[in-house]
A and B are shown apart, each in its own frame.
Chain A
Amino acid sequence: MEEIIKTSDIVKLYVMGNEELYALKGVSMTIHKNEYVAIMGPSGSGKSTFMNIIGCLDTPTSGLYELNGQNVSDMDDNELAAVRNKEIGFVFQTFNLLPRSNALHNVELPLIYSGMPKKIRLELAEEALNKVGLQDRMMHKPNELSGGQRQRVAIARALVNKPSIILADEPTGNLDSKTGDEIMELFDNLQTQGNTIILVTHEDFIAEHAHRIIRLRDGLIESDQITQKGLKYQSIKTITA
């Protein structure tokens, strides 16, 4: 299987005044195409830092990070922006939609930044909103949508550029459990359609949707396991193959 993410010995050091804080102390791992991975860990484990690096929002102090074959560990701001635009679809806990823009425009935004012509942009944005079941809410602004609907808009925005990975940070943290289940079901579907999904969470029942769980503690990988669901998925795949 094709390697999408490959980190080797990632270190992240924060210097605050005289104090040095190692958020990551050497993290090495590989994620393949169409994997469904949950990254877990208590607060202070380096989970967020790792997610920021994986998401190309931040760069490691040392170590190597290859995303889809390109070394992104020492790219500058503008190159990283281009990589984020093309390769990564973010889904945040607080949705992070632009409050003054309607759903369609929010979804269209990554395509604007990649310089796509308007006609194609609108087609793709509508298609993405269809996929998350919001075809009749396109002209609504975030404050006219429910929490679940907002997160669906955010997922549509993450999908629209057909990124290499979808990176979801506590995607159900601000939702009630029923809506949360629906959103997780959506992620499950997206994975079966061929997307690579990385969930960052501290909730076990969310992580159980994934096929593989990587646990971080004190800036290091504590464990890296295949879940029940992952085993089942693999066996089904082997049988169908």
Chain B
Amino acid sequence: MNLFTEIRESIIISLNSIRANKARSFLATLGIVIGIMTVTTLQTAIEGINRAFEKSIAAVGADVLYIQKFEWFGKDDWEVYRNRRDIKWQEYEYVERNMNNAESICPTVSTSALVTYQDFTSENVPVFGTTEEYQRTLGMDVADGRFFTKRESDGGWAVCVIGYDIKESFFQGIDPLGKVIQVNGHNFKIIGMYKKMGSMLGLFSLDNRIIIPINKFFKIFGTRRSLTINVKALSVDALEDTKEEVKAVMKRARHIPVGGKEDFGINQQEAFKQTYESLTGLIKTIGTAITLLSLIVGSIGIANIMFVSVKERTKEIGIRKAIGAKRSTILLQFLIEAVTICVVGGLIGLIIAFPISLVINAVLLPTAMPLWVVIIALVISAFAGIIAGFFPALSASKLDPVDALRYE
């Protein structure tokens, strides 16, 4: 008897038997349903979070170092950070002058301010001061109009570039270019606009900001704020070299001896990634544990029901053996039955998980159930079926035909 006919026949038998015991089969496979549901929902959600993360992390350039007062994800005690000095304009100038391994460097400083245009006002709008090198360093291109020039920057001209949200809330249906807005009462002429960029990990918007020349910023808001020095490396590969140089240059600027510990933070996208990955890693571990547990419980349920099924069908096994079924045929028949029950359970799990993924997509974050998750889920179900069905199937295949035929 060839394997193909054998498998086909076994699938027909098992579907018949599932149909004959609908409620029992469903209850038996519930563990698998829950397991597959958890694993697919979780994977789908993680996939969504990953996509959102990749999208927002792009705003933090992979080849840019951010020299700041603090590290983004400091691991030391607060004591270590408490007495840190602000980063000063002079330090920026020193770094700017002395760095060799850098594509470009720009300082940024920020605050929030009251913004007015005619009758519209908005409080707490983030305002950034920077130089003309901002564009090249952080790679954010102006969509409409232009960025300010070195002359405008050095001279502290009253010009600004606005984010997408500012344009939307103040200038509906009007072209903002050339219009004048007030920032804390000071007039600024709009010379450029950004396109929509979204938010950083859903936390803060990249579109709600006004960018002005740093010298104008100092005039309005003072010079007491700590700066960020943004250093773009020559390439992503050269990032580590650049980082070493930045560290050395900053230490010299602050007169810290070569062996001394730096009192500033050098941040980079990598730090975000590491933190993010340890977080999703935790979610994955917990999810995998839940999945594994429900699959184990599910498999035990299937194994149990398969033993019952073998017992109930002892006579049938006897008949099949009498008319020529080999051991392997009987083994395969019950194995396939267990696999079929599990795969059906897996499919039910997927059918339940799919609308959940749509809800997540609509309410929480953009996501989609990836095909590979569906395939993996079904493979896992089949595998659980093989594990669960093996011993019951083996016991069925070993039945003595004479005893089995006599069984009532």
Contact = CB atoms under 8 A, between A and B. Distances in A.
Contacts of A212: none
B322 interface: yes
Contacts of A81: 321, 324-327
Contacts of B328: 78
B174 interface: no
A123 B402 CA distance: 31
Contacts of B405: 57, 92, 96
Contact of A78 (B315, B323, B327): B327
Interface stretch (A110-118, A194-202, A230-238): A110-118
Interface stretch (B1-9, B65-73, B147-155, B194-202): B1-9
Given A96-B315, A98-B316, A114 B402 contact: no
Q: Which size bracket describes the interface of A in this complex?
A: 20 to 34
Contact of A109 (B2, B315, B323, B326): B323
Given A57-B402, A113-B329, A86 B2 contact: no
Q: Which size bracket describes the interface of B in this complex?
A: 20 to 34
A100 interface: yes
A85 B5 contact: no
Given A114-B1, A115-B5, A100 B323 contact: no
Given A57-B402, A113-B329, A90 B323 contact: yes
Q: Which among B20, B320, B328 has the greatest number of chain A C-beta atoms within 10 A?
A: B320
A184 to B, nearest CB: 22
Nearest to A100: B16
A52 B17 CA distance: 29
Given A96-B315, A96-B319, A98-B316, A86 B326 contact: no
Contacts of B401: 57-58
Interface string B160-203: 00000000000000000000000000000000000000000000
Nearest to B4: A115
A152 interface: no
Contacts of A52: 402
Nearest to A78: B326
Interface string A76-99: 011001101110001010001110
Contacts of B324: 81-82, 84-86, 110, 113-114, 161
Given A55-B322, A110-B324, A114-B1, 16 more contacts: A52-B402, A57-B321, A57-B402, A77-B326, A77-B327, A78-B327, A84-B323, A96-B315, A98-B316, A101-B16, A109-B320, A109-B323, A110-B323, A115-B1, A115-B5, A157-B323
Interface of A: 52, 55, 57-58, 77-78, 81-82, 84-86, 90, 92, 96-98, 100-101, 109-110, 112-115, 118, 157, 161
Interface of B: 1-2, 5, 9, 16-17, 20, 315-316, 318-329, 401-402, 405
